[in-house]
Amino acid sequence: MDLAGRTVSEVLAILEYDTKRVAVERNLDIVRKCDYDTAVLLDGDTVEIVGFTGGG
């Protein structure tokens, strides 16, 4: 999927993640929640999204 040019928030919406239940890493750095709306993914970025589920 080509996600370059989109923000982290847009990518999470496309992939149907709940932004309150995820952690996002880009190029081995955690993306802060406050940067989701402004962090634009670039061609070649490596992005990892972890979604958490409830229970403990």
Partner 1 sequence: MERSEWNAALDERIGKARRTVYENSTVGIAGLGGLGSNIAISLARAGIGKLVIADFDKVDITNLNRQQYLASQIGTYKTDAMEMNLKSIAPFIGIGKHCVKIDEDNITDIFGSCDIVVEALDGAEQKAMLVNTVLSSLPGKVIVSGSGMAGFGDANLIKTQKVMKGLYVCGDMTSDVDTSGSLVSARVMVCAGHQALAVLRLLTGEMD
Q: Interface residues with partner 1 (CB under 8 A)?
A: 18, 20-23, 25, 28-30, 32-33, 48, 50-56
Looking at the Cβ atoms of 44 and 55, the one nearer to partner 1 is 55
Q: Cβ 44 to partner 1, closest distance in Å?
A: 18
Structure tokens at 24: 């996002």
Among all chains, which residue has been given the structure tokens 């982290």? 8
Neighbours of 18 (CB within 10 A): 9
Contacts of 12 (CB under 8 A, 6+ apart): 19, 22, 24, 36, 49
Looking at the Cβ atoms of 14 and 23, the one nearer to partner 1 is 23
Looking at the Cβ atoms of 2 and 53, the one nearer to partner 1 is 53
